[in-house]
Amino acid sequence: MSTTAGEDHHRTDSGIEIQGLYTAADLEGWDPDEKLGAPGEFPYTRGVHREMYRRRLWTMRQYAGFGTAKSTNERFKFLLGAGQTGLSCAFDLPTQMGYDSDHPRAEGEVGKVGWPSTRSRTCASCSTACHSTPSRRR
């Protein structure tokens, strides 16, 4: 956010002016049924569950991934066995940057901090491994 010396208004990095205070007058013509919606209903601004998290706790995700789909699957099984309720797969740096594993800039980084998913054989292997990981609903 930026401000010009002596001015009371601020602007976002995109240049959008931000008022110091917003009131109901700023909402003229704004339809809460259309724009805000009800909890558990589109556009989900009040949450994805009707009761939000009063009846069901949020899912705590564990971010994990290793050099191969097999080792990632083993880790996922360990985490689920220890009570983890959500998993997110970690990809290696070349995959995150959009490089194939055999790209010169990927040299030395493939599989270091996650698993590489740029080859169809690797993706199929992970898909098979992940489908063999037990899932539970709470």
Question: Beta strands of the chain (E only): which ranges?
Answer: 10-11, 17-18, 61-64, 86-89
From first to last of its 138 residues, what are the pLDDT tens digits of the chain?
A: 554 555 566 899 999 999 888 888 888 888 888 888 888 888 888 888 888 777 777 777 777 777 777 888 888 889 889 988 888 888 888 888 888 888 999 888 887 877 787 655 555 655 555 555 555 544
Cβ contact 32:24 at 8 Å: no
pTM for the full model?
0.47
76 token code pair: 């996922």
